[in-house]
Structure 1
Amino acid sequence: MRPKKLQAHCLSFCAAVTKHHTGEDEGAFPALAKQFPELKPVLEELAHDHGLITMMLERLEQLDFTDPEDSLRELNGIEAIIESHFAYEERKIIQALNELNAPEWTADQPKFLHKT
């Protein structure tokens, strides 16, 4: 893939991940913490991961994508932490997400649930 095309794909990916994490931090996690207070430490850890991922994505956005080794190193690092983050998130909160009672989301669906 050419550097400009790869860069465009990466920027789209960064935007999608940021939207997802912002939605979790501002919508899903507070709702989960309210209904499942025992999950607060897990939710705090996941929010902390979001901060780390944000820093990595910001670094990726600054990358010029002309050095294949540098680009691959950054992409591999992001891939590793995101895969680990999602696996941990699924193990720890998927059941609570499935049980989450948020009737207000039916009438006024949060932006992070909208498909773009």
Structure 2
Amino acid sequence: MSVPENTVWKEVATLADIPALGGRVVATEGGEIALLRNERDEVYALDNRCPHKGGPLAEGTVSGDTVYCPLHNWRIDLKHGQARDPDVGCVRTWPVRLEGERVFVRLPE
């Protein structure tokens, strides 16, 4: 899914705030965003709702470029937000930028 117009980079966390192989919730005016960190210290941002039953993705387990929903173990691609086969669905992703240990997400103004 694409990022809406009128967005800005906002500092939302530090790398240390996001558990390795896990996530952290960031509250925004538009809803909750899950910041997820894999074993390579890559950080991804997705809406914090699994497309299946709305499970909190920030509470899921991260492996590579996948987060496993804590409710029913749906696998969601961190780069594109797509559910992996055989499941079907999508969650919005947000661009992330790291500056040293600081984590920025491109969010609506």
Q: TM-score surpassing 0.5?
A: no
Q: Of the two, which has the highest radius of gyration?
A: 1
